Chain A
Amino acid sequence: MVDTESIPGADRIESAIRSAKYEKGFALAPFLTAGYPSLDRFPDFLQGTAAEADLIELGIPFTDPVADGPTIQRTSRTALESGASIPWILDLLATTQIDTPIIIMSYLNPLLAYGFDRFAKDCASVNVCGLIVPDMPFEERQPLNQIANNHGLCVIRMVSPVTPNDRMKQICTAARGFIYATTICGTTGADDAIDVSAEQLLTRVRTHSSIPILAGFGIRTANDANRLSHHCDGVIIGSALLEAIDRNEDPADFLRNIRPISTATNKNPGIKP
Chain B
Amino acid sequence: MNPEMTENAAGTIQDLIEGRLPDETGRFGPFGGRFVSETLMHAITLLENQARAALNDAAFVRELESELADWVGRPTPLTEARSLSREWGATILLKREDLAHTGAHKINNALGQALLARWSGAKEVIAETGAGQHGVATAAACARAGLPCTVYMGAVDAKRQAPNVDRMNRLGATVIEVTSGDATLRSAVNEAMRRWIKNPETIYYLLGSAIGPHPYPWLVREMQKIIGTESRRQIMDRFKRLPDSVVACVGGGSNAIGLFHGFLADPSVRLIGVEAGGTGTDRNAASIVHGTPGVLHGCYTLLLQTDDGQVLETESISAGLDYPAVGPEHAFLSSVGRAEYRTATDDQALAAFDECCATEGIIPALETAHALAAAKQLATESPGELILVGFSGRGDKDLPTLRAKQDAPNG
Across the interface, A112 reaches (CB within 8 A) one of B37, B180, B309, namely: B309
Is A110 positioned at the interface, with any CB of B under 8 Å from its CB?
A: yes
Identify which of residues 107-143 in chain A touch chain B, using a CB-to-CB cut-off of 8 Å: 107-117, 134-140, 143
Contact A64 B186 (CB under 8 A): yes
By beta carbon, the residue of chain B nearest A69 is: B194
Residue of chain A at shortest CB distance from B42: A162
Picked from A86, A112, A139, the residue with its CB within 8 Å of the CB of B295 is A112
Task: Say whether A109 contacts B7, CB under 8 Å.
Answer: no
**Given A66-B190, A185-B39, A186-B198: A110 and B310 interface contact (C-beta under 8 Å):** yes
Which of B28-36, B53-61, B339-347 contacts its partner? B28-36
The answer for the CA separation of A67 and B39 in the assembled complex, in Å, is 10
Query: Is there a chain A Cβ closer than 8 Å to B114's Cβ?
Result: no
Contacts of B293 in A (CB 8 A): 112
A64→B190 contact, CB < 8 A = yes
The answer to whether B297 and A66 touch across the interface, beta carbons within 8 angstroms, is yes
Which residue of chain A has its CB nearest to the CB of B309?
A113
A114 and B4 alpha carbons, distance in the complex (Å): 12
Q: Determine the residue in chain A with the shortest Cβ distance to B311.
A: A63
Q: Which residues of chain A are within 8 angstroms of B5 by Cβ–Cβ distance?
A: 112
Residue of B nearest to A74 (CB): B180
Chain A residues closer than 8 Å to B337, beta-carbon distance:
none
Chain B contacts for A161, CB-based, 8 A: 39
Contact B42 A164 (CB under 8 A): yes
Contact with A138, one of B41, B180, B298 (Cβ below 8 angstroms): B41
Q: Which residues of A contact B305 (CB under 8 A)?
A: 109, 113
A62 in contact (CB, < 8 A)? yes
Q: Is A144 an interface residue when CB atoms closer than 8 A count as contact? A: yes
Residue numbers in A under 8 Å from B198 (CB-CB): 185-187
Judge if B2 is at the interface, Cβ distance under 8 Å.
Answer: yes
Q: List residues of B (120-139) whose CB comes within 8 Å of A's CBs.
A: none
B4 contact set on A, CB distance < 8 A: 112, 115-117, 143-144, 147
Do residues B38 and A138 form an inter-chain contact, with CB atoms below 8 A?
yes
Choice from B2, B33, B294 contacting A140 with Cβ under 8 Å: B33
Of B297, B298, B307, which one neighbours A113 at CB under 8 angstroms?
Answer: B307
CB of A186 within 8 A of CB of B197, answer yes
- Chain B contacts for A62, CB-based, 8 A: 309-310
CB distance from B322 to the nearest CB of A (A): 15
Number of cross-chain contacts by CB at 8 Å = 121
Check A160 for interface membership: any CB of B closer than 8 A.
yes
A163→B38 contact, CB < 8 A: yes
Smallest distance from the beta carbon of A141 to chain B beta carbons, Å?
11
Instruction: Provide the residues of chain B in CB contact with A114, threshold 8 Å.
Output: 308-309
* In the bound complex, CA of A259 to CA of B309 (Å): 37
Contact check, A67 vs B41: say whether CB atoms are below 8 A apart. Answer: no
For the complex, is A49 an interface residue (Cβ under 8 Å from B)? Answer: no
- Nearest CB on A from B379, distance (A): 39
B371 CB → nearest A CB, Å: 28
A159 within 8 A of B: yes
Distance in Å: Cβ of A181 to nearest Cβ of chain B = 10
Cβ contact within 8 Å between A85 and B308: yes
Contacts of B193 in A (CB 8 A): 66
A162 touches B311 (CB 8 A): no
A142: min CB distance to chain B, Å: 9
Closest to A110 in B: B309
Shortest Cβ gap from A135 to chain B (Å):
5
Contact with B along A141-173 (1 / 0, CB 8 A): 001100100000000001111111001000100
Q: Are A113 and B181 touching (Cβ within 8 A)?
A: no
Task: Tell whether B377 is near chain A: CB-to-CB under 8 Å.
Answer: no
Q: How far, in Å, is B349 (CB) from chain A's closest CB? A: 27
In this complex, how many residues of chain A approach chain B with their Cβ under 8 Å: the count is: 45
**Contacts A113-B307, A139-B25, A187-B194 given; does A158 touch B37 at CB 8 Å:** yes
A20 at the B interface (CB under 8 A): no
Is the pair A137, B295 in contact by a Cβ cutoff of 8 Å?
no
Closest to B199 in A: A185
Report Cα–Cα, A134/B193, bound state, in Å. Answer: 13
Distance of A137 Cα from B311 Cα, bound (Å): 21
* B295 surroundings in chain A (CB, below 8 A): 107-109, 112, 135
Per-position binary interface string of chain A over residues 245-270, scored 1 when its CB falls under 8 Å from any chain B CB and 0 otherwise? 00000000000000000000000000
**B residues less than 8 Å from A185 (CB atoms):** 39, 197-200
B296 interface contact, C-beta 8 A: yes
Write the chain B residue with the least CB distance to A88: B308
- The CA-CA distance from A64 to B178 in the complex, in Å, is 14
> Is B230 an interface position by the 8 A CB rule?
no
Q: A80 at interface (Cβ–Cβ under 8 A)?
A: yes
Kindly provide the distance from the CB of A246 to the nearest chain B CB, expressed in whole angstroms.
17
A85 to B310 Cα, complex, angstroms = 10
Question: In the complex the two chains form, what is the Cα distance from A134 to B295 in whole Å?
Answer: 12
Cα separation A119 to B194 with both chains bound (whole Å): 28
Contacts known (A64-B296, A112-B2); A182 close to B310, Cβ less than 8 A:
no
Separation in Å of the A180 CB from the closest CB of chain B?
Answer: 9
Question: A173 CB to closest chain B CB, in angstroms?
Answer: 15
Any A CB within 8 A of the CB of B201:
yes
What CA separation (Å) do A107 and B311 show in the bound complex?
12
With both chains docked as a complex, state the minimum distance between the C-beta of B71 and any C-beta of chain A, in angstroms: 33
Tell me the minimal C-beta distance from B201 to chain A in angstroms: 6
Q: Does A100 contact B (CB under 8 A)?
A: no
Query: Are A67 and B197 in contact, CB atoms less than 8 angstroms apart?
Result: yes
Query: In the complex, what residues of B have CB within 8 A of residue A111's CB?
Result: 309
Q: Is A229 an interface residue (CB 8 A)?
A: no
- A73 at interface (Cβ–Cβ under 8 A)? yes
Q: Which residues of chain A are near B41, meaning CB under 8 Å?
A: 137-139, 163, 167
| In the bound complex, CA of A66 to CA of B152 (Å) | 14
Q: Are A113 and B308 neighbours in the complex by a CB distance under 8 Å?
A: yes
Q: Are B37 and A140 in contact (CB under 8 A)?
A: no
> Once the chains are docked, how many angstroms separate the CA of A62 from the CA of B186?
14
Q: Which of A52-88 contact B (CB under 8 A)?
A: 62-64, 66-67, 69-70, 73, 80, 85-86
Give 4 A-B pairs besides A62-B310, A140-B34, A160-B38 with Cβ atoms closer than 8 angstroms.
A73-B181, A112-B309, A136-B35, A139-B25
Q: What are 6 contact pairs spanning A and B, CB under 8 A?
A: A109-B310, A112-B5, A112-B293, A115-B4, A163-B41, A171-B38
Closest 3 CB pairs of A and B: A113-B309, A110-B309, A160-B39
